[in-house]
Every structure is written in structure tokens, then in C-alpha cells.
Chain A
Amino acid sequence: MKFTDLILQTATKLLVFIILTFSVYVLFNGHHHPGGGFIGGLITSSAVVLLYIAFDAQTVREYLPIDFKLVGVVGVLLAVGTATTSLLLGQPFLTGHHVEVTLPFIGELELGSALIFDIGVYLTVIGTTLTIITSISRDE
């Protein structure tokens, strides 16, 4: 199905970046405010889906040459790896750690294993949804 909708395409070019920025915001904001890896991942996926709707699959694949299966693999490994790290430190599986660092200009920043775990969730969700969507849409 190839069709050209100039208004949709122009709007999409703009919107995709806003959605992507928002998704990253939601991901990192999730610790204290609504959001998190799962929602962030879904929002990112919706941005890519928008691209697929506005442009044809060929074009999207050209500009976004990413193997989404690999993204999923990285995500799962990141999440499982974070969980296992505490095991290596002699603590029960999935024990969380977090430290607060104060950086110049940025201010107080909180770094925790929960965040890395959440990034794993984020990547897995993107990888899975987009693997499913691209493989079905390619089947034409």
C-alpha cells in the first residue's frame, strides 16, 4: 500500500521527534512521576508506527535501519543482567541499589539499578512491539 499524504507526512516529521523526546522524558521521569520503561517503550513504538503509517515501509527501513529483534535482546539481557549483578555481589537476586549524586549545572541526580532495569524493560518493549508490527506489515 503506497500512498502519499503530504499533510500527514509533514506533520509526522515534526511529531515523531516530539513523541520520541517525550518518551525518553517519561522513561527517566518514571521514578518519581507517572511514567517508566513500559510506557516509554510503548510511546517510542507509537512514534515508529506513525512513521510506518505516514511513509511506506521501504522508506522507513531506509532511514531507520535497526533490527528490532536485536533491541529486544539487548533489553532482556540488560534487565536480567541487572538482576543478576546483585547475585554476584553476594546479595539476593534483584536487590536494588541507588545513589544520589550532585552534579554541577544539572543538580541532584539519582542513579539506581532500578533505572537500568527500567531501561531494559523500555528496550524490550520497543523491540517486541516493533518486531511484531514490522514482521506483520512486511507480509504483503
Chain B
Amino acid sequence: MSLLHFAVLAPFLFAIIVPALYKLIRRVHTGWFVLGIPIVLFAYFIRFLPLDPAAGPIVHTIPWISQLDIHFTVYVDGLSLLLALIITGVGSLVVLYSIFYMSRREALHNFYVYLLCFMGAMLGVVLSDNLLVLYTFWEITSFSSFLLIAYWYQRKNSRYGATKSLLITIFGGFAMLLGFIMLFVATGTLSVREMISQAATLADHPLFVPAMLLVLLGAMTKSAQFPFHIWLPDAMEAPTPISAYLHSATMVKAGVFLVARLTPVFGGHMLWFWLITIFAIITLFWGSFMAIKQFDLKAMLAYSTISQLGLIMSLLGIGSLALHPDYMHIDLFAAAVLAAIFHLINHSIFKGCLFMVIGILDHELGTRDIRKLGGLMGFMPISFTITLIGAFSMAGLPPFSGFLSKEMFFTGVLTAADHIGGWVTLIPIIAWVASILTFVYCMILVFKTFTGKHKPELLDKKPDEASIGMLISPAILASLVIVLFFFPNILSGSILEPALLAVLPTVSADVLHIQAWHGWNMELFMTIGVVLLGTLLFLGLSRWVRVFDYLPQTYTLNYAFNQGLSGMERISSRITGGYMTGFTRDYLTYIFAFLIVMTGWSLWSQEAFVWDMSTNAHIYLYEYVIGIALAVSAIFIVFSTTRLNAIIALSIVGFLMSLLFINFRAPDLALTQLVVETISTALFLLCFYFLPKLRKELTRIPLRISNLIISVGVGLTLTLIGLSTQGHRLFQPIAEYYEQAEALTGARNIVNAILVDFRGFDTMLEIVVLFMAGIGVFTLVKLRRSRRNDA
């Protein structure tokens, strides 16, 4: 196990002791203990810089399930290192922020355990080489996201949002798993690196396109691409540090990461380009359009995140054409991938920063409804400055880093339009409109909140600047936004270039210089247009905001989701309700009918029935007597009219059986049968009190007929099987092996040796099941009693 493996597992390991820390040391906020983990990991990962692209990735393997080609292989290349740095870097700031955001009265141990599990799983996703290991970590991120969204599980909306996100992302996850398995079938390996080396021949495989579609489904659900974006706004029920961390900076980037990671495998295929680009452009537009409509600031940021993810995805889609043999301008397309990677960093920074400020507003004022806010600039000058920086960066204005990646984005879409033509020409136009809308909601975010009229009558608390601890994290992120504008090239050589090479291994590194000033080119004119039109639209917002009223109000995607969900619940409950009647007698009917059909059928189809009495031992008179007594008491049960008589007759059958065992010299069986009979009779007498009158059941004729058929059927089948076993000796009897019991186990009692040694595994699981059944009875009785007390 290498240090790199340990780095992935460290958050999980630390999560084990978090509850103890929380319980034992109540005076110190648990977050302070947790904070060390991401900081140490960040320091560890930053030591990998600068990566030498020529040396290839750093790989460590732990062999795990070799038969299935599953190994815990972690590897560091530019892309995974970039994501790992974001995960641990933003993670540190989020934990620091959460220390001041989360009250010490909350269930902090749960919060930090989930958070650490997420962090470890996310590191696992980006560092894993083996696709099935990656998938496992992928699903752990979904689960921890579920738990974190439902952190305030007392609220109905939290539970709804958590379930929704889980259902959608797990649906995509399963699709992705299928895609991975198809890739495994096509390539014979689960390792991403080996798949990439086979990429050239893979495209002709019949499973290539299905695998691509399924993997994309996974990436699109995770990264909230249209039409799967509907889970992200509802995920905003999570505490704000979580929204900043999972639902803007890291988890939703997992889909983007997957697309980038598999670009060397799928890229160059036109379908890959079309699917990603079209859905991403729709997402970009729709997210920015819907963001304007929102009154809740977090919902606005959620739609903005959706839109920005669409932007990054569309760049990856365009950039994948660098691998297409028909397009010669590799560097131009590679510039799009570079823009995607750069914007991924920028977005994590400015969106994390914005979420944290919105969290501060929520924390200090008790609301994030934009209609109640206004004129806060004077009260919260630092928060205002940070929001301004974050929002202007998102809008793509200088001197903030978002401007650089926005320009690069325009370059990317213009390149695509130039070289492909046709419908692709529409893409820059849609992108431009989406950018205008982005500008508008950024302005709403800043100016509707912080300028205008202060409305103290709508607020519960008096506005005041947040504590310094809460401001540190967003302030660091905001200063990064500015630093990256002036010095973008500190990133380019160290991390952007290796990341680009991880996505497009064949590209040369000439595209890498990022600069703010390109001269008076098309991109700049587009930005100027965005600012002018965006300002006009923002000022005239009240006139055109009624546009949203024309959107369908009932037949939305959410409506489809809710209807689909309740429809599935209805269908499944109808199916289940059809056979789960609540009557033990019905369940016994299924079991016995199955037994008759399956064993009777195989007895008949295999022609296994044999009537051979020649090898039987002599039957003595007293054996006849016991046999006849058995039969008589069994028949008596059937015809007895009161339950008490039936029970007594049944125990007579049992005791006669143990007599038979004694006769056949099986003292262990006889003893067991005797005691079981005693106890079950006692049990029967206890239950007796609660059972309905037998006579009522007996009068129903159809029931009696079906019971007759089943009991005769079971008796007949089992008798025939019992008789037939005499005539068949397919295998060497195992009895001779058991006779060595004393030599093998030191036990002279073979029955006991079988129970506790030869078949000890059976016994162990049997007593576990037995105990579970006991607990089940206990719970049912207790539930019944408490329900009766309530009523």
C-alpha cells in the first residue's frame, strides 16, 4: 500500500474516530479536528507539482480481485491531480467555513462523517484507474450527497431533495456501470489507461456506441445536464457549506471529469461530439434563463451552476474533435479543452465563494429571499465586495479570472462554428445569448441584494457583518479570482498543461499561453455586446420578467419526475399487494404449490420414480403399530373440529416420531424431537388464545378444496420422492467420511461433529437466522401492542 492509497483512504479512516471526538470533546467544535485532513492532503498533493508530462503518470497498484481484473490502482496525472487539488483545497476552506456556520448544537458528528466520506470517495473517483473501483467511489459520492442533503431530515423538502438527487444520480450510475461492463467486454480490461491504448481499434466494436451512450448518461446525471438537471435545485436544501462543496465545486464536476477522462477513448467520434455539445448548450441556455426567475438566492446559484456545467461540457464536446481524423486544426480544438479545464478551476473558485457569501446572508439575516433583501451594502461591506468579485467573474468581466475563461469559451464555440458549419453555426449565438442572461442574473445577485432600499420590516434580524471566521474562506477564494486574472500562467505550465495532455495525449503544448488582451477580436466584441445588452435587460427587468409566466406551469420536467415516481410506486404496490395478502395460509399455499410443481415436475420429467422394496429390512410388528398410530392421529387432525384436539393430535404425531427415532437408534434425533415437541406445544397453547374460531374457517368450501388439493399434492410428492431415493445411488454416500469424525474433530458423537464442525457454517448461519426470526416476532408483537396503546 502506497502513500497515495493512504491519501484516498485517510478521510474514511478519520471518519471512524469523528463520532468519538464529538462525544468526548464537546467544548471544541468538531470541525477543528476535521480541518487537518484536507489541509494535510492538499499539502501532500501540491508536492506532486510540477508534474513532468514526459515521465508519464505516477501509478500505484494493490492487487485485489485478480480473477475479475479488479485492482485498486491509483494514478496521478494532470487531470486527476487538478481535481484532487480542488477537492482538498476547496474542502479545507469549506470545513473552515463550516466551523463558523454549523452550530455546535447540531449533530456535527454525522455532518463531518458524511463530509469525510464524500471527500475520500471523490478522491477515489478522480484517482482510480480501474473503472469498477471508480464506479464504487462514484456511488459513495451519491450516497454521501444524499445523506448531506437530508442532513436536516426533519424537513420534508430536505428528504424530497435528497431522494430526488439519489434516484437520478443512481439511475445514471447504473447506466454507467453497464457502459463500463460493455467497455470491459470490448477491450478485455478495466483499466482506463489500457483502454486508452486500445482506443484506435475500439471504435469498430459493436458495443462502442451503446457503451458511449450509457457512460454519457452517468456523466450527464451527475453533472446535472439537461434534462436531468432537476435534482440540483432541490439539492439546495443541504447546509450551505455542502452546497458550496458538493453541489458546485466538486461532486457535480465528477461528470465533467468522467467525460474528460474518457475523451481519449470516445473522442473523435462524431456522436460523442454531438451528444455532449447539444445537451450542454441546451443546459447552458436553460440554466441561465431559469436562474433569472428565481427568488431564492441559492436556487439562483443552483441554476447558475447547471448553466456553467453546461458551458464546461460544451467545451469538452467541441474539444473532443481534436481527436477526429478529419479536422486538421488540432490546436484550435485543444484550446477548447484548455478553456474547459481552466473554467472548471475558475468555476469552483468563484461559485464556492458565492455560495459561502449567500450562506453568510442566510446565517446573519435568516432569509435568502431576494424580495426581502436590499440595501445591505452599508451593513455588510466585506460580503458585498466578495459577492461583487465572484459575480463579476461569473459574468465574465475584467479584471476577474472568469473573463479569461469566458473569452476562451467564445473562441471555442467560434472555432466549432468555423470548422464544422451547418447547424453548429447556431452554437455561438446560443452561447452568446446565454452569456447575456448570465450577466443579468449576476447583476441581480449583486445589486438586488446589496443596493436599493433596505427593508428592515421584512427581516427577522438586524443586518450585521459576519464574524471574521466565516469571511476568511470566501475572501481567500475571491482574492484567488483576482490573482488568476493577472497571473493565469502560474497555472498553465504547472497544472493546465499536464491536465490537457491527460485529456488529449497527442496535442502539442503550444496553445498554453493564456492572456487577457487579444486585440480587438470577435470575442471582445461579443463580451462588449454581453455587457451592453445585459445592462439594458437588467434595467428593464420588470418589463420582460413576465416572459416566465408563459412557460408551462404544470407540465414541467419536475412534474414528469413526480408523476413517474408516484406512478411507479402505484404499480409496484399493486403488484406486491396482489400476492402479499397478510394471510400465512396464502404464503404457505405459494410455498407448497411451488414445491409440488418443481419437485413433482422434475420427478416426472427425469423419470426418477422407482418402486423397489427388495433392499428393505424386515419390518417388525411394533413398527407397524407405531406406523398405524401415526397415520390415525394424522387423520384425526384433519377431521377434528376444535383447535385444541388438533393440537393434541399433532403433538401425538410428534411424540410417536421420536419413538420411531429411538427405535432406529438415533438418540440425538429422538431427544431433539422430544424437546421441540414439548416447546412447540407450549407455544401453540400460548398462540391458541389469539387464533380465530376454527369452525368459521371450516365452512368455506372453496378454501377446503384448495387445501385438500395442496395437502394431498405435498403428501403424494414427498412420499414418491421418499420411495424413489431408495432406488438411486448416484454418488458415493458421504456417511463413510463422517465416520472419521473422531480422527478429524476429536468428537465421538458424529451428529454433534456434523453440527458444530463438518457443517459448522450451516449451523452458524442457521442460528443467526433463528435469532433474526426471534427478534422479528418480538418486534411484531411489540408493534402491535404499541399500536393498540395509541388507539
Residues of chain A touching chain B, judged by Cβ–Cβ distance below 8 Å, are 26, 30-39, 42-43, 45-46, 49, 53, 69, 72-73, 75-76, 79-80, 83, 93-94, 96, 98, 100, 110, 112, 114, 117-118, 120-121, 124-125, 127-129, 131-133, 135-140
B-side interface size class: 35 or more
Q: With contacts A76-B767, A128-B773, A129-B679 known, is A94 near B761, CB below 8 A?
A: yes
- Assembled-state Cα–Cα distance A140/B678 (Å): 22
Q: Is B771 an interface residue (CB 8 A)?
A: yes
- Assembled-state Cα–Cα distance A112/B668 (Å): 21
23 contacts between A and B (CB under 8 A): A31-B746, A32-B749, A34-B668, A34-B749, A36-B751, A36-B755, A36-B756, A39-B675, A42-B676, A46-B679, A72-B775, A96-B760, A98-B745, A112-B746, A121-B763, A124-B771, A128-B767, A128-B773, A131-B775, A133-B682, A136-B686, A136-B777, A139-B785
What 1/0 mask marks residues of chain B from 754 to 771 whose CB sits below 8 Å from any chain A CB?
Answer: 011100110110011011
Complex contact A46–B678 (CB within 8 A)? yes
The 6 closest A-B pairs by CB, nearest first: A128-B774, A42-B675, A34-B667, A32-B748, A124-B767, A36-B752
User: Which residue of B is nearest A36, CB measured?
Assistant: B752
* Cβ distance B615 to chain A, nearest Cβ, rounded Å: 28
Q: With contacts A96-B745, A132-B777 known, is A49 near B682, CB below 8 A?
A: yes
Q: Is B515 an interface residue (CB 8 A)?
A: no
Q: Contacting A94 at CB < 8 Å: which of B690, B760, B773, B774?
A: B760
Of the listed residues B689, B748, B770, B781, the one surrounded by the most CB atoms of chain A closer than 10 A to its CB is B770
Complex contact B773–A32 (CB within 8 A)? no
Question: Which residues of A are found within 8 Å of B683, using beta-carbon distances?
Answer: 132-133, 136
- Assembled-state Cα–Cα distance A131/B751 (Å): 27
- Assembled-state Cα–Cα distance A83/B761 (Å): 8
Complex contact B749–A117 (CB within 8 A)? no
Question: Which residues of B are found within 8 Å of A140, using beta-carbon distances?
Answer: 689
Q: Contacting A131 at CB < 8 Å: which of B686, B746, B756, B774?
A: B774
Complex contact B782–A83 (CB within 8 A)? no
User: Which residue of B is nearest A134, CB measured?
Assistant: B778
Question: Which residues of A are found within 8 Å of B773, using beta-carbon distances?
Answer: 128
* Cβ distance A121 to chain B, nearest Cβ, rounded Å: 6
Q: Is B672 an interface residue (CB 8 A)?
A: yes
What 1/0 mask marks residues of chain B from 657 to 701 whose CB sits below 8 Å from any chain A CB?
Answer: 000000000011001100110110011001101100000000000
Number of A-B contacts (CB under 8 A): 144
Q: Is B784 an interface residue (CB 8 A)?
A: yes
- Assembled-state Cα–Cα distance A36/B763 (Å): 12
Question: Which residues of A are found within 8 Å of B760, using beta-carbon distances?
Answer: 83, 94, 96, 114, 117
User: Which residue of A is nearest B774, CB measured?
Assistant: A128
Complex contact B746–A110 (CB within 8 A)? yes
* Cβ distance A60 to chain B, nearest Cβ, rounded Å: 13
- Assembled-state Cα–Cα distance A23/B690 (Å): 31
User: Which residue of A is nearest B746, CB measured?
Assistant: A98
Question: Which residues of B are found within 8 Å of A129, using beta-carbon distances?
Answer: 679, 774
Q: Is B747 an interface residue (CB 8 A)?
A: yes
* Cβ distance B762 to chain A, nearest Cβ, rounded Å: 10
Complex contact A132–B774 (CB within 8 A)? yes
Question: Which residues of B are found within 8 Å of A32, using beta-carbon distances?
Answer: 747-749
Question: Which residues of A are found within 8 Å of B668, using beta-carbon distances?
Answer: 34-36, 39
Question: Which residues of B are found within 8 Å of A34, using beta-carbon distances?
Answer: 667-668, 671, 749, 751
Chain B facing A: main interface SS: helix
Of the listed residues B690, B763, B782, the one surrounded by the most CB atoms of chain A closer than 10 A to its CB is B763
- Assembled-state Cα–Cα distance A37/B672 (Å): 11
Complex contact A121–B767 (CB within 8 A)? yes
Q: With contacts A39-B675, A72-B774 known, is A139 near B745, CB below 8 A?
A: no
Question: Which residues of B are found within 8 Å of A46, using beta-carbon distances?
Answer: 675, 678-679, 682
Question: Which residues of B are found within 8 Å of A80, using beta-carbon distances?
Answer: 764, 768
Question: Which residues of A are found within 8 Å of B678, using beta-carbon distances?
Answer: 46, 49
Question: Which residues of A are found within 8 Å of B747, using beta-carbon distances?
Answer: 31-32, 114
Q: With contacts A53-B682, A128-B773, A136-B683 known, is A114 near B675, CB below 8 A?
A: no
- Assembled-state Cα–Cα distance A73/B676 (Å): 21
Q: Contacting B781 at CB < 8 Å: which of A38, A69, A100, A136?
A: A136
- Assembled-state Cα–Cα distance A76/B785 (Å): 27
Question: Which residues of B are found within 8 Å of A136, using beta-carbon distances?
Answer: 683, 686-687, 777, 781
Question: Which residues of A are found within 8 Å of B746, using beta-carbon distances?
Answer: 31, 98, 100, 110, 112, 114
- Assembled-state Cα–Cα distance A121/B785 (Å): 30
Given A34-B671, A42-B679, A75-B771, 14 extra CB contacts under 8 A: A39-B675, A43-B675, A46-B675, A72-B775, A75-B767, A79-B763, A79-B767, A83-B764, A94-B761, A98-B746, A114-B756, A135-B778, A138-B781, A139-B785
- Assembled-state Cα–Cα distance A72/B761 (Å): 18
User: Which residue of B is nearest A100, CB measured?
Assistant: B746
* Cβ distance B724 to chain A, nearest Cβ, rounded Å: 30
* Cβ distance A12 to chain B, nearest Cβ, rounded Å: 13
* Cβ distance B772 to chain A, nearest Cβ, rounded Å: 9
- Assembled-state Cα–Cα distance A38/B754 (Å): 13
User: Which residue of B is nearest A53, CB measured?
Assistant: B682
Q: With contacts A37-B756, A96-B757, A133-B686 known, is A127 near B679, CB below 8 A?
A: no
Of the listed residues A110, A120, A121, the one surrounded by the most CB atoms of chain B closer than 10 A to its CB is A121
* Cβ distance A61 to chain B, nearest Cβ, rounded Å: 15
Complex contact B761–A69 (CB within 8 A)? no
Question: Which residues of A are found within 8 Å of B749, using beta-carbon distances?
Answer: 30-36
- Assembled-state Cα–Cα distance A72/B770 (Å): 10
Complex contact B764–A79 (CB within 8 A)? yes
Question: Which residues of B are found within 8 Å of A133, using beta-carbon distances?
Answer: 679, 682-683, 686
- Assembled-state Cα–Cα distance A80/B766 (Å): 11
- Assembled-state Cα–Cα distance A49/B636 (Å): 27
Complex contact B774–A39 (CB within 8 A)? no
Question: Which residues of B are found within 8 Å of A118, using beta-carbon distances?
Answer: 752, 755-756
User: Which residue of B is nearest A43, CB measured?
Assistant: B675
* Cβ distance B620 to chain A, nearest Cβ, rounded Å: 23
User: Which residue of B is nearest A50, CB measured?
Assistant: B682
Q: Contacting A45 at CB < 8 Å: which of B679, B768, B781, B782?
A: B679
- Assembled-state Cα–Cα distance A77/B750 (Å): 25
User: Which residue of B is nearest A140, CB measured?
Assistant: B689
- Assembled-state Cα–Cα distance A87/B768 (Å): 19
Question: Which residues of A are found within 8 Å of B671, using beta-carbon distances?
Answer: 26, 34-35, 39
What 1/0 mask marks residues of chain B from 212 to 226 whose CB sits below 8 Å from any chain A CB?
Answer: 000000000000000
- Assembled-state Cα–Cα distance A124/B752 (Å): 17
User: Which residue of B is nearest A116, CB measured?
Assistant: B756
User: Which residue of A is nearest B761, CB measured?
Assistant: A94
* Cβ distance B739 to chain A, nearest Cβ, rounded Å: 15
Complex contact B756–A42 (CB within 8 A)? no
Of the listed residues B682, B687, B689, B752, the one surrounded by the most CB atoms of chain A closer than 10 A to its CB is B752
Complex contact A114–B757 (CB within 8 A)? yes
Q: Contacting A30 at CB < 8 Å: which of B752, B763, B771?
A: B752
Complex contact B771–A128 (CB within 8 A)? yes
User: Which residue of B is nearest A98, CB measured?
Assistant: B746
- Assembled-state Cα–Cα distance A90/B418 (Å): 67
Question: Which residues of B are found within 8 Å of A26, using beta-carbon distances?
Answer: 671
Q: With contacts A79-B767, A120-B767, A132-B683 known, is A35 near B752, CB below 8 A?
A: yes
Question: Which residues of A are found within 8 Å of B672, using beta-carbon distances?
Answer: 38-39, 42
- Assembled-state Cα–Cα distance A2/B774 (Å): 26
Question: Which residues of B are found within 8 Å of A128, using beta-carbon distances?
Answer: 767, 770-771, 773-774
* Cβ distance A113 to chain B, nearest Cβ, rounded Å: 9
Question: Which residues of A are found within 8 Å of B764, using beta-carbon distances?
Answer: 79-80, 83, 94, 117
- Assembled-state Cα–Cα distance A39/B753 (Å): 14
- Assembled-state Cα–Cα distance A83/B759 (Å): 12
- Assembled-state Cα–Cα distance A139/B781 (Å): 7
What 1/0 mask marks residues of chain B from 713 to 731 whose CB sits below 8 Å from any chain A CB?
Answer: 0000000000000000000
Of the listed residues A96, A100, A110, the one surrounded by the most CB atoms of chain B closer than 10 A to its CB is A96
- Assembled-state Cα–Cα distance A34/B667 (Å): 6
